[in-house]
């Protein structure tokens, strides 16, 4: 299994745990009297699960298992693979922190975190598509 795949899969497992903790906290907010901001974590919960866990797991396994691009470059571009990994994770983490902060303090000037997060995650999506497209081919 390539090093990058291990990074993708291990990161995705950490997001799964984080997502379930956030989801659990949202459910337990009222009964346990947790602070009100925990109620703002719904979009964070969805995206930890869907982007952090599922999509990232797919990215890692596809990078490993899909048909080879060429004999000399089986996984197409390794650097682009790493760019995808870092932009996806930096973007998602920025969102996880930034989204509740912006919702709580709309006037605090933190909107840039979400803008940067959006750009980073978008780059990750495009990076994965570019690196994968030509590997999806008939034998």
Partner 1 sequence: MPRLAVWIVRTSLIYLGCGFTVGAYMLLNKGLTLDPNYRAWIYMHEELMLIGWMLQFVIGVGFWILPRFMQAPKYGAIELAWGAYLILNAGVLVTIAGGWLEGPGSSAALIGRALEIVAAAAFAVYIWPRVRPFLVG
Residue ranges in contact with partner 1 by CB under 8 A: 50, 54-55, 58, 67, 95, 98-99, 102, 110-115, 117-119, 121-122, 124-126, 128-129, 132-133, 136-139
Round to whole Å and give the CA distance between 7 and 86: 10
**Within the chain, how many helices (H) and strands (E) appear?**
5, 0
Q: Which does 98 bind (CB under 5 to 8 A by kind): partner 1, ligand HEM, none?
A: partner 1
Q: Which is nearer to ligand HEM, 112 or 122 (CB)?
A: 122
Given the rule CB under 6 A, which residues bind ligand HEM? 42-43, 46-47, 50-51, 55, 118, 121-122
Q: Which does 42 bind (CB under 5 to 8 A by kind): ligand HEM, partner 1, none?
A: ligand HEM
Structural contact between residues 78 and 4, judged by C-beta atoms closer than 8 angstroms: yes
| Rounded-to-5 percentages of helix, strand, coil across the chain | 80, 0, 20
Round to whole Å and give the CA distance between 78 and 61: 14
Smallest separation (angstroms) from partner 1 to the CB of 126: 7
């Amino acid at each position: 299994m390539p090093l990058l795949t291990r990074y993708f899969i291990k990161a995705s497992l950490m997001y799964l745990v984080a997502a379930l903790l956030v989801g659990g906290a949202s459910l337990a907010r009222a009964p346990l009297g947790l602070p009100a901001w925990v109620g703002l974590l719904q979009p964070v919960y969805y995206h930890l699960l869907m982007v952090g866990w599922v999509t990232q797991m797919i990215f890692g396994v596809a990078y490993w298992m899909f048909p080879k691009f060429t004999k000399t470059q089986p996984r197409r571009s390794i650097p682009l693979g790493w760019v995808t990994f870092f932009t996806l994770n930096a973007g998602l983490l920025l969102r996880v922190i930034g989204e509740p902060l912006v919702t709580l303090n709309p006037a605090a000037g933190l909107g840039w975190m979400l803008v940067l997060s959006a750009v980073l995650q978008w780059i990750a999506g495009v990076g994965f598509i570019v690196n994968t497209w030509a590997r999806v081919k008939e034998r």
